[in-house]
Structure 1
Amino acid sequence: MQKTDKVYSPTQGLELTIRPLQAEDLPKMLDIERQGYSHPWTEGVFRDCFKSGYRLWGACLGGSLVGYAVVVYVLDEVQLLNLCVQPGARGDGVGKLLLRHLIAEAIRESMNQVVLEVRLTNTVACKLYRHEGFEEIGRRPGYYPAPSGREDARVMSLLLHA
């Protein structure tokens, strides 16, 4: 089991911790997912992520799960599949802490890069990824379902070893 990262959240006066997720966390993950996305992952998709090669980390504020990150390791690359923060905990650095944690773990495990897709309209996430050093390396037309059809994805990458 990986160590737990801790940070103090000044806006809520609570300790923010990162810990590995277990299958028992699935109901709360699904709740956060449904609050966070117009087209949420299904329970089956999440269950498939509790397999070898995947890493799932949860952010807990005062002991309560408020966000999570799901990654898969493929050869020397980490693919960030999902990072979601409960709406009430946004703006407290939860997403940044999760992102920094998964990057630190990827470096510790000698991975070479982190790759992700993000909706073009998700300006908050794009800003976070850019701030943490990610660069756009391409686009995937029609990648995401959207209320009016499909939406393009911005493909971003962070090289971990220069």
Structure 2
Amino acid sequence: MTAPSAAAGLALVPMTLGDVDAVHALECSVFPHPWSRANFSDSIQAGYDAWLLRSARGELAGYFVLMLVLDEAHLLDVAVAGERHGTGLGLHLLETVCARAKEMGAESVLLEVRPSNERALAVYRRFGFAEIGLRKGYYPAHEGRREDAIVMRHTV
């Protein structure tokens, strides 16, 4: 499913506390309401499955944070560096997420996505995630408003 060259020259490495500043910077560059540094630090310290894609020169190309709850993995956060959008790297990350989830004993991967994030919705649908629900007012939005979340699931 991934474009053959999407992850060429990139290495999958575990996210550490030393990576939080770089991960947070990427997060802030692609999301209007980003996670905080503390969200990443707390996830690492809680033992969530957190991984980076780095180039041989150390450039951060993408990352994900995955939490296992019983037999279901919850994709908490995933991002691809802006200059790599449209290269197939998002699909590659989703393949990696699903493989990690399966290795951890999950039967499915669950995620939430903003309806306004059309690019992400298209990638998730293309990968085979199905819409299973809606969480009203889940995300913060501009001017103190809230945005719903589409809940999606993929069987691994």
TM-score by length of 1: 0.86
Distance 1:82 1:143 in 2: 15
Q: SS of the residue aligned with 1:25?
A: helix
| Amino-acid identity (%) | 38
List aligned pairs for 1:36-75, cutoff 5 A: 36-62=30-56, 63-75=58-70
Report the number of matched residues: 151
Distance 1:115 1:128 in 2: 15
Q: Distance in 2 between matches of 1:16 and 1:106?
A: 21
Post-superposition offset of 1:19? 2.0
CA displacement at 1:104 relative to structure 2: 0.7
**Please, which runs of 5 or more residues in structure 1 have no aligned partner?**
1-6
Report the counterpart of residue 16 of structure 2 in structure 1. 22
What letter matches 1:8 in structure 2? Answer: S
Unaligned runs of 5+ in 2: none
Root mean square deviation, CA, Å:
1.7
Worse-matched range after superposition: 14-23 or 77-86:
14-23
1:128 partner SS: helix
Q: Does 1:8 align with 2:5?
A: yes
| Match of residue 4 from structure 1 | none
Partner SS state of residue 114, structure 1: strand
3-state SS of the aligned residue for 1:49? helix
How many Å apart are 1:124 and its aligned residue? Answer: 1.1
Q: Which is richer in strand?
A: 1
Checking the alignment, whether the CA contact within 8 Å between 2:66 and 2:73 is kept in structure 1 is: yes
Determine the C-alpha separation between the residues in 2 that align with 1:21 and 1:118: 22
Checking the alignment, whether the CA contact within 8 Å between 1:8 and 1:16 is kept in structure 2 is no
Q: Answer 1 or 2: higher relative contact order, Cα 8 Å, separation at least 6.
A: 2
